[in-house]
Structure 1
Amino acid sequence: MAAPARPQKWYKILYVQVIFAIIIGILLGHFKPEIGEAMKPLGDGFIKLVKMIIAPVIFLTVTSGIAAMSDLKKVGRVTGKAMIYFLTFSTLALIIGMIVSHIVQPGAGMNIDPKSLDGGAVAQYVTKAHDSTVTGFLMNIIPTTLVSPFVTGDILQVLFVAVLFGIALAMVGPKAKPVLDLINAVTTPVFRLVAMLMKFAPIGAFGAMAFTIGKYGIESVVNLAMLVGTFYATSILFVLVVLGGVARYNGFSIIRLVRYIREELLLVLGTSSSEAALPTLMQKMERAGCSKSVVGLVVPTGYSFNLDGTNIYMTMAALFIAQACNIPLSLGDQILLLLVAMLSSKGAAGVTGAGFITLAATLSVVPTVPVAGMALILGVDRFMSECRALTNLVGNATASIVVARWEGELDKEQLDRAMAGEVMTDPVATPPASLTPASGSAH
């Protein structure tokens, strides 16, 4: 009989290393801001490393998942259900952000003269926002060539190609088996590479956090503590109450889910980039009992369409600027703000700093609130971006389980084991069982 595996030493656990890295980064940025700012390349370098592997992970997972489906109608059905879920909860997030802003009124009493605001500080974001129209966004999903998405790293373009290629393999039938075997074989070293890259996560988190504190300072958060605190509190309540209610209805605990994906959440906290956690989040959702095909469609699509944290931020930030500048908004203005935010949140998806750019796009269409007012929150946006990314990540993890359950593609026993902490959570060198050639197609 094989000897039982020894428990991993605490200092070798990834999330423990990331926690220590974040703490050290905060201390360095606070006490030695110049050195902290100089650590920026460490955070940027790690994010680039992860982005490098995202396209292959999505392509291999989605292609093999769809190719193994016997019913191609299922692809459209899963995508449709995911979009209904995304639209429902994204809209709810916008409304909640607006309601809380009216109750708390974080910008009231600042009495800012709109004419005194420096529009130049946010000019670059306004320019990017104008370039990010909904039509342009939809057209950009179609790549220039079949391989160009793997060069640019555009998530939705990679997903588009993977879905088409997977459907083509499924339609070819048995003759596609050698290609599918090759894809499954390549999957193993790709996930080993993911595990290798995750070892650099503490370094990336340290560099990103040291830069953030060093450049913007903890004081910048204190100056606008009401807005930042309200936003964090609202996001936490959204996760616990709204997503918690959805989770309970679908047979799992949101608290246990958050604990299950804690490594990814800490990684996002350290880097302020939800993309840094995408590969391992997809792995974990499969280990939690969601089928490969559902995870492959829901998670990457959710990164562009299921932005709960970003939506809460948009309406809250817009109303904060209006309150700070003593600009009364009519019911019509607020409805227009809500409708524009629903569209612009899709139009600017996938752009670096999407939350701030999306806000610029929204305010550009709603003239009542001055775009220059964004300068008021520019200093604390980096801190708010972390909360946006964390909320978005929990929302996408929840969506994966819910859509998998709707489709009958959820292994409930495996989910219960994962939520109880009986499933390995640290990144591993091999893909989940559902990605290996011997496993077949579905749970």
Structure 2
Amino acid sequence: MAIFKKLSLAAWIGIGLVLGVVVGTVAPDIAVQLKPLGDVFIRMIKMIVVPLIFSSLVMGIAGTGDFKKLGRLGGKSILWFEVATTLALIVGLVAVNLMEPGVGVTMTHVGSNEAVTKAASSHGLDHVQMLVNIVPTNIIDAMGRGDMLQIIFFSCLFAIAAAGSGKEGLHIIDLSKSVAHIMFKVTHYVMYVSPIGIFGAIAYTIGEYGIEMLMPLIKLVVCLYIAVAVFLVLTVALASAVTKTNLFPLLKTLKEPMVLAFSTAASEAALPIAMERLEKARIPSHIVSFVLPLGYTFNLDGSTLYSAIAVVFLSQVYGIPFPLELQVVMLLTLMVSTKGIAGVPGAALIVIAGTAAAFGLPVEGIAILLGVDRVLDMARTMCNVTGNCIAAVVVARWENDVTADDLKEHIREENAELSSL
């Protein structure tokens, strides 16, 4: 019993994940009935996200009252996002060309024909309309749908108004601080049941689809996982150079949100705990609460990397030549088409379908990807979350809100505290 008491939350989450795989493999009939455990946990996390984002943004922006700084934050965030997503595309292209996961794969009708038809009929996303959609017509509706970009827009406008409203605005700022503090406390309570939720989610996935679904496409899964690992190492190395701080220990700080994102394949599940970990490492709350939600729309590194791999994979499956110069054009296409897709259901599928069709590749091949999409989604979601956390640290250093020495010390202290839990 003493051993169990010493285990950290991350260790319990890992145990839940492993047990889920075991139960899903050994007793699939029982495992599929455990889906509500995972569903309840995800719903509990999602109920935290909106009030936490709104209160944190209002507290951070209205509390500083520096609106020029807000503009700088946006500009620097977008700049880093573009660097990171470009690196993700390059890593994805190199990995898929070196490993050739599609060579030797026999096309089978795996997955939902309805989903493939829907993707095939889509001509991509209207980016002008995407800009229009940043402005919500109903903020309550936007919060209900979890549309991060609309929530950010309204929260920033509300915070600016609060800062300019004198005494009444101060009451709102104090209330936002209290709400943010309480929501972090709620996050702690929810995290106590996270191992059970993850156990249910993983058991259901393995029980429903079976480990055998991986066999024909194991090379694709390995290709993506290796590419994600390489990308994260390169990104942390680049961020370390930019911030003049060794950020590899930051990955230990972020292990809980990374494991949560991986095991649930839901970015929202990791957002509250990721925000808390970064703030405990003394990254300013106004940067964390601005950069992380913005990144969920503009910095989907894992999804971008996967899109590059998937399109070239389809060309390999069908034996269609896809020369390097065309792949470079595809890279430029994906740099645009993968922006602003977070709130669109099946967005990655739509982007892959639209890009494949644009380059003369059979869209029907997406069916084979659907069979293992859950396993692929786990890796790319974890990559998305980690990439956004790294972005917040980089922006904080660019803004000189934390020095290199202080950042190094804060990460060390946070890791020491996590190890003692």
Same fold (TM over 0.5): yes
The equivalent residue for 2:304 is 311
Q: Does 1:78 align with 2:73?
A: yes
Number of positions where the alignment pairs a residue of Structure 1 with one of Structure 2: 418
| Amino acid paired to 2:218 | A
Kept in 1, the 8 Å contact 2:112–2:370? The answer is no
Quote the Cα distance in structure 2 between the aligned partners of 1:209 and 1:418.
Answer: 34
The equivalent residue for 2:126 is 133
Q: Does 1:417 align with 2:409?
A: yes
- TM (norm. structure 2) is 0.91
Kept in 2, the 8 Å contact 1:42–1:203? The answer is yes
Which structure 1 segments of 5+ residues have no match?
1-6, 429-443
Offset from partner CA, 1:31-61 (integer Å, 9 cap, x none): 1112212222221221121111111000010
Distance 1:124 1:372, change over 3 A: closer
| Amino acid paired to 1:85 | W
Distance 1:68 1:129, change over 3 A: farther
Match of 1:397 among 389, 394, 398: 389
Quote the Cα distance in structure 2 between the aligned partners of 1:302 and 1:207.
Answer: 28
Match of 1:159 among 135, 152, 161: 152
Quote the Cα distance in structure 1 between the aligned partners of 2:175 and 2:112.
Answer: 54
Quote the Cα distance in structure 2 between the aligned partners of 1:22 and 1:68.
Answer: 40
How much has 1:419 moved relative to structure 2?
A: 2.5
SS at match of 1:253: coil
SS at match of 1:255: coil
The equivalent residue for 2:176 is 183
The equivalent residue for 1:440 is none
| Amino acid paired to 1:62 | L
Quote the Cα distance in structure 1 between the aligned partners of 2:137 and 2:313.
Answer: 41
Quote the Cα distance in structure 1 between the aligned partners of 2:112 and 2:38.
Answer: 29
| Amino acid paired to 2:83 | T
Kept in 2, the 8 Å contact 1:250–1:402? The answer is yes
Equivalent positions of 1:26-37 (< 5 A) are 26-37=21-32
RMSD value over aligned CA atoms?
2.6
How much has 1:394 moved relative to structure 2?
A: 1.4
Kept in 2, the 8 Å contact 1:132–1:347? The answer is no
How much has 1:175 moved relative to structure 2?
A: 4.5
The equivalent residue for 1:435 is none
The equivalent residue for 2:185 is 192
The equivalent residue for 2:375 is 383
Offset from partner CA, 1:258-313 (integer Å, 9 cap, x none): 11111111111221112101011112111112112111111110111111111111
Kept in 1, the 8 Å contact 2:58–2:155? The answer is yes
| Amino acid paired to 1:66 | I
Quote the Cα distance in structure 2 between the aligned partners of 1:122 and 1:175.
Answer: 50
SS at match of 1:224: helix
Kept in 2, the 8 Å contact 1:310–1:388? The answer is yes
Quote the Cα distance in structure 1 between the aligned partners of 2:188 and 2:121.
Answer: 34
Between stretches 123-132 and 349-358, larger displacement belongs to 123-132
How much has 1:223 moved relative to structure 2?
A: 1.8
How much has 1:369 moved relative to structure 2?
A: 1.3
How much has 1:109 moved relative to structure 2?
A: 2.9
Match of 2:39 among 44, 56, 65: 44
The equivalent residue for 1:87 is 82
The equivalent residue for 2:270 is 277
| Amino acid paired to 1:390 | M
How much has 1:111 moved relative to structure 2?
A: 6.1
How much has 1:108 moved relative to structure 2?
A: 1.8
Distance 1:131 1:110, change over 3 A: closer
How much has 1:243 moved relative to structure 2?
A: 2.7
How much has 1:421 moved relative to structure 2?
A: 4.5
Equivalent positions of 1:300-339 (< 5 A) are 300-331=293-324, 333-339=326-332
| Amino acid paired to 2:375 | F
Quote the Cα distance in structure 2 between the aligned partners of 1:271 and 1:128.
Answer: 29
Kept in 2, the 8 Å contact 1:194–1:279? The answer is yes
Offset from partner CA, 1:391-429 (integer Å, 9 cap, x none): 111111111110000001125455323432546459x9x
Distance 1:267 1:140, change over 3 A: same
Q: Does 1:362 align with 2:362?
A: no
Offset from partner CA, 1:214-264 (integer Å, 9 cap, x none): 122222222211111111111101111233232244233343111111111
Distance 1:403 1:31, change over 3 A: same
Distance 1:108 1:8, change over 3 A: closer
How much has 1:67 moved relative to structure 2?
A: 0.4
